[in-house]
Structure 1
Amino acid sequence: MGKALVAHHYWARVGGGELVVAAVAVSLERMGKDPVLVSPFYFDPAKYTEWFGIDLTRYEVVRGRFKLNMFGLYSRLITWMPVKDALKSYRPEVVFIDSSNYAPLIKDRNRGFKLIEYIHFPLEAYQTMQDPAVMERYSRFPMNLYWWGYMKLMKRYIRPDPFESADLVLANSSWTADVVRQTYGEVPYVLNPPIPPNMEVVSFPRRFEERARQVTMLGRFSEEKRYHWVISELFPLLLKDVPDARLRIFGGIGGRTSRSYFERLSRMVSRLSLEGKVELIPNAPRSAINESMDSSRAFLHAMINEHWGIAVAEAMARGIPVVAHRSGGTWSDILARGAYGMGFESAEEASGALAKLLTDEEEWKRYSAPQRMMDFTIDKFHARFSECVDKIRR
């Protein structure tokens, strides 16, 4: 059985990118390969069973000895380093990498492996485009220097063109694929991430009348998620129409930056006298998140240009209607531009959509669509990934 390297910059957190590389490892095994997980930093593969219901403990691992507590963005610059070492030890048939910073690996292509690049988003596109999510987080000191340093160093390690550098180029959504087209002139194959195997697609969601006038949000505590905008601008508008509305925000805290943002949000809740109406819940277990989704009438995703949106997919699997910004892969691929969820571009639009879902049973039933998530199971992911890989076998 031939080896297949699966390289990712930071395996030690729970997120959409981590779900993708875990699913890829499983798919490669189903295709007759022997996956080897490659990481610049230490991580515990056993966590993936808890997070996603995917057992990675049976795979070999190449990883650094140190844990990462800060400078997570910069870790993308060195993903290639442990891959280069693993190439000598394993002589793989396939190398899968979801970072564009692998220029030092290109000269190793003569070793005979097939290189697959998966694009969550082409960060190099930010050199020419203005993205609100990036501006939200990196426009002010000192984060602007942090971003500037990364973009400067990226030029040293980025491959020149994915379609010339890799045998197969994949993207997580049709929206991301279009950004890649605008940047490089070619369109990658779209391979949507799966929902986690431990995420049940609910056949019979809890009924409207059994739910509270409550909105749930989910995602790591990070500025681009725009929780501050929701608390300070959107939620006060919603309270004017639905005075008894409640907001619960679940998020992961993994380092200094997310902790600082969480504390900022806590101060904001207090300053606006929203205690008892807005609840911030860090590092909650899945059971608590599911219970909140099952007892809420709406799920809100406020990020602009979200590349995919695994939290939205998880919410839809629970049968909770979604309101999301009318942009990015969430809008184009998951919500199918409004067919399976409500969109907004302003606080007023978002407030109006949430008010409808909290008070109008017919509107709520229209957008409670857990069956949509049957298109995103890990079996569907494997079938599509296999089809893509077959293209480079010919």
Structure 2
Amino acid sequence: MIWALFFLFMFLLIIRTRRKSDVVAFFHPYCNAGGGGERVLWCAIRTMQQQWPNLQFFIYSGDYDATKEQILLKAKQRFGITVDPKNVHFVFLRLRRIVEADLYPRFTLLLQTLAGFILGFEALLKLNPEVFIDSMGYPLTLPLFRWIAGSRIAAYVHYPTISHDMIDLVARRERTYNNDDIIVRYNILINAKLLYYRLFAFFYGLCGQAVDVVMVNGSWTGGHIRRLWFCDHAKVVFPPCDVTAFLALEQVAEAKFTEDKVLRILSIGQIRPEKNHKLQLEVLRTLVKKLAERSDGIKVVLTIAGGCRNQEDHRRVTTLKDMCAEWGLTSNVQWKLNVPYEELLDLLSESLISIHTMWNEHFGISVVEGMAAGTVMLAHDSGGPQMDIVLPIDGKNETQPIGFLAATKEAVVGVIDAQNHVYSDNVMSFIMIMKLYSILIYHKADDGTVRSFKSAFDLSSFSFFQRGSVQEFMQFTGKLLVERSGLGARSTVKENEYFCHCYVRSDGLAAVSVTDGEYQARIAMSMMTRVLDDFSSKVHAVQWAQIKTEKDCLYTGLPELLAKWQNPREADPMTRVQEEVEETKIVMHNTIQSVLERGEKLDDLVKKSENLSDQSKLFYTQARKMNKCCNYY
């Protein structure tokens, strides 16, 4: 006993004396996998390099079949992330194979966790860092490096190893990929598994006590980690979602659908059981049958852009391909495995719908990317997508969907089928019809000050991430035009493919509308005349002084008028509209800059504006750099 304690003491002494100062080590055995967790890893290293250039960064990796240069090149190609190789090093682990799930068909959680401890021990013998960061979820490495190695510990938790949702699922006897039929059938097996899960959750919580800094990637993960690890200091650090390239994508999906009548659906995600690609194939099978019954010539194609980490993932692909062959879906599925970043952008540009089917996804970077790229996003109604992503804008505008949530095959099929009707029945009108984006009502006082009375928007053709900034800029532009216009003036400002029409009545009541090029200026002027007449008939001039903000204005008819005047042919006969404004003089301006007074600059007005958020000002600056000034795309 004494000798055992002596050898343990000497081991601890040797290990701790070998600890490297100014070294930060990330435990990420699958750093070359190309998934969302790897994006977090590379973004974290790049940011820390910029913040602390004198530190050395090591990555415990099991990808010993790749060189440092190859791993960093893949990070650049897959994510567009470049890290400085000078202070990035790799500690290659030979035992990574022991943590793979296919070795443990039973007691997978327990045996994988114990295997993670062994892999962590190999890592410790090769390098003892000053700071140890587990960025992949191996819980026993946390007490190992805290109490044996003496390192400072941080954990970035993508997904809890076990959750109360998993325990509840077993208690409800639901069949899933990790809850076999044989267990569901027998009470003794169910009770044994419940005991196993609860004991595991208890020891998982003990591992969490070793962590100095806890970070989680979303609200769902945060809730479970706080409950399991008994910690209130877990901080939500959303995964890095650089959507700049996705926002800049030119969406060609609608044009391609018009051309070849192929409804393209894109699935992005690693080929893992929990991603539930089987459900996607079941949805596809149902859709193919529905379209065959209609005989309208529309074909549906599902593209699975998945990351394959190892042979186990490739075996899953083979199983899914066999399923496609059995169901007659081979020609309806395209496989794009481990695609580079540029090809992923092309796929998003060509796809009408993005689909996500993982139950309790911890966050859902692919959901964010799909929304930013302008696809119709259909995500699973649980976890991160439900709690953090597919939400009403600023918690409001619930009638304006920014995506769809569905939890069952029937619900998923229903959403996709509805979108197919939208595109197939109205695709030509969707592309060719004139578009009215907004109507804004202002009042210009005698001293030249302008107040916003009411506004209505139809921004459904813009991506979710653009809508807030687009709306603010439309309001900013509208107020600017009214300020620069005299009483009784009508003007139209052309900016790229967008047109801002302004009409200021002699009593100071004004309207501004933003349209596309198909919406004729004379029609817009007639529409705004009708809008102002309707407004003044319901909100009398004596009440205008009391309106300080839009909330003070009780006028409710603007959204209805916006919808009505989307198609002027239905709102009023075109010939009559033309006759009414035939003699009206409309001043045309080629750019917003031409409206400004001499010496004024639009850049300065944007910077000084108190009505534009920092996000919208950044949006404007990026648009200027891309030579798309005031282009709402």
Between 291-300 and 330-339, report the one with greater CA deviation. Answer: 330-339
Q: Tell me, yes or no, if structure 1 residue 295 matches structure 2 residue 350.
A: yes
CA contact (8 A) 1:201 1:371 kept: no
> AA paired with 1:106?
R
Deviation at 1:14, TM superposition (A): 1.0
Cα distance in structure 2, aligned partners of 1:182 and 1:152: 13
Q: Which residue of 1 aligns with 2:241?
A: 195
| Alignment of 1:357 onto 2:410 | no
Q: Residues 186, 228 of structure 1: CA spacing in aligned structure 2 closer, same or farther, 3 A cutoff?
A: same
Q: State the Cα distance separating 1:40 from its structure 2 match.
A: 5.0
Q: Give the one of 367, 372, 386 matched to 1:312.
A: 367
8 Å Cα contact 2:206/2:229 also seen in 1 = no
Matched, 1:123 2:161: yes
| Matched pairs, number | 364
Residue of structure 2 equivalent to 1:18: 38
2:265 equivalent to 1:215: yes
- d(CA) in 1 for partners of 2:286 and 2:370? 23
Contact 2:265 2:353 in 1 (8 A): yes
2:221 matches 1:176: yes
Give the letter for the 1:18 counterpart: E
Distance 1:364 1:215 in 2: 23
Q: Give 1:61 deviation, angstroms.
A: 2.1
Q: CA deviation at 1:217?
A: 0.9
Pick aligned residue for 1:96 from 133, 148, 156: 133
Q: Does 1:64 align with 2:101?
A: no
Q: Matches of 1:208 and 1:356 in 2, distance apart?
A: 17
Q: Look up the equivalent residue of 1:101 and give its one-letter code.
A: L
Percent of aligned pairs with the same amino acid: 21
- Alpha-carbon distance, 1:30 to partner: 2.3
Q: State the 1:78 CA deviation.
A: 4.1
283 and 300 in structure 1: CA distance in 2 versus 1, 3 angstrom threshold:
same
Partners of 1:28 and 1:310 in 2: how far apart?
A: 21
| Structure 2 CA distance for partners of 1:10 and 1:207, relative to 1, 3 Å | closer
Q: Which structure's CA Rg is the greater one?
A: 2
User: Matched residues in 2 for 1:356 and 1:373: separation?
Assistant: 26
C-alpha displacement of 1:281: 3.2
**Is residue 101–residue 154 contact of structure 1 (8 Å, CA) maintained in 2?**
no
Per-residue deviation, 1:297? 0.9
Q: Is the 8 A contact 1:136 1:223 kept in 2?
A: no
The CA RMSD measured in Å over matched residues stands at 3.9
Normalising by structure 1, we get a TM-score of: 0.77
Does structure 1 conserve the Cα–Cα contact (< 8 Å) formed by 2:33 and 2:308? no
Pick closer, same or farther for the CA change 1:130–1:182 going to 2, 3 Å.
farther
Q: Report the Cα offset of residue 68 of structure 1.
A: 4.2
**1:331 shift after superposition:** 2.3
Deviation, structure 1 residue 200: 1.2
Q: Letter of the aligned partner of 1:275 in structure 2?
A: T
SS of the residue corresponding to residue 130 of structure 1 reads helix
Q: Which runs of 4+ in 1 moved over 4 A?
A: 65-70, 150-159, 361-364, 372-376
User: 2:363 aligned with 1:342, yes or no?
Assistant: no
Shift of 1:191: 0.7
Summarize deviations over 1:367-387 as a string: whole Å, max 9, x none.
7325489999xxxxxxxxxxx
The residue correspondences of 1:10-49 to structure 2 (distance < 5 A) are: 10-32=30-52, 34-39=55-60, 41-43=62-64, 44=66, 45-46=71-72, 47-49=74-76
Q: 1:141 to 1:67 in 2, by over 3 A?
A: farther
Q: 1:35 to 1:26 in 2, by over 3 A?
A: farther
Note closer, same or farther for the CA distance 1:205–1:239 as it changes in structure 2 (3 Å cut).
Answer: farther
**Structure 2 segments unaligned to the other structure (5+ residues):** 1-20, 102-107, 185-192, 258-262, 393-397, 424-429, 431-457, 470-613, 616-633
Secondary structure of the equivalent of 1:306?
Answer: coil
Moved more, 361-370 or 25-34: 361-370
Is the contact made by 1:317 and 1:373 (CA closer than 8 Å) also made in structure 2? no
- Structure 1, unmatched stretches of 5+, are 377-394
Q: Residue in 2 aligned with 1:274?
A: 329
The code of the aligned residue for 2:147 comes to K
Structure 1 CA distance, aligned partners of 2:370 and 2:42?
A: 20
**Aligned residue for 1:384?**
none
Q: 2:80 aligns to what?
A: 53
Helix, strand or coil: the match of 2:314?
Answer: helix
Contact 2:132 2:145 in 1 (8 A): no
